[in-house]
């Protein structure tokens, strides 16, 4: 039932946090927005680029991935939301990833970063032109980070 995940009230709300934070920090829309929040949620979930987010815990766990992300990471929704985001990075790249997360945390967002990521079955991908941004709820409280990218290639 992953294909209907975007209809859940908590996902509709989280979609607004993703979209509002992106707009606030980057001064542009991530997707063309609608007056209808359900449509926004559906459109982001079905976008032809990857969108992922994790919570603000010390060892962040994914709490959102659109269909493109689930396909790339080779996971279903339940697997994704139990996965520490560090687990999609090769161990050798984790220090670099941590530095990028900290930089985004300080600046609010970063663009044009990249790196090697690993799916749940061990497939390796070079992802490029990543935008990483901080997430804030409607009260302005920091609640995690998100990433989007549309360029990746499978590595042998």
At residue 1 the predicted structure's pLDDT band, cuts being 50, 70 and 90, is: very low
Partner residues linked to 124 by β-bridges: 118, 155
Q: How far apart are CA 14 and CA 9, in angstroms?
A: 9
Q: Rounded to two decimals, what is the model's pTM?
A: 0.91
Question: What is the average pLDDT across 81-107?
Answer: 80
Contact 44, 15 (CB under 8 A): yes
Q: How far apart are CA 51 and CA 143, in angstroms?
A: 16
Task: Give the DSSP H/E element, type plus range, for residue 1.
Answer: none
Q: How far apart are CA 110 and CA 104, in angstroms?
A: 5
Nearest to 135 by CA among 23, 5, 6, 11: 23
In tens, the pLDDT along 125-155 reads 999 999 999 999 999 999 999 999 999 999 9
Domains in the chain and their CATH numbers?
5-155 (3.30.450.20)
Contact 115, 96 (CB under 8 A): yes
How many residues are given for the chain?
Answer: 156
In the predicted model, what is the mean pLDDT of the chain?
91
E strand intervals along 24-105? 50-54, 62-65
Question: What is the average pLDDT across 101-112?
Answer: 82
């Amino acid at each position: 039932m992953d294909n209907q995940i975007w209809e859940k009230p908590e996902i509709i709300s989280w979609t607004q946090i993703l979209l509002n934070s992106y707009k606030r920090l980057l001064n542009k829309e991530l997707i063309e927005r609608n007056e209808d929040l359900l449509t926004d949620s559906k459109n982001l979930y079905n976008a032809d680029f990857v969108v992922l987010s994790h919570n603000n815990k010390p060892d962040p766990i994914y709490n959102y991935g659109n269909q493109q992300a689930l396909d790339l990471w080779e996971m279903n929704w339940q697997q994704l939301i139990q996965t520490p985001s560090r687990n999609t990075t090769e161990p050798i790249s984790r220090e670099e990833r941590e530095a990028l997360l900290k930089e985004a945390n300080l600046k609010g967002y970063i663009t044009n970063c990249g790196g090697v990521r690993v799916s749940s079955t061990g497939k390796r991908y070079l992802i490029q032109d990543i935008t990483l941004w901080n997430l804030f709820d409607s009260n302005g409280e920091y609640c995690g980070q998100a990433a989007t990218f549309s360029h990746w290639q499978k590595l042998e």
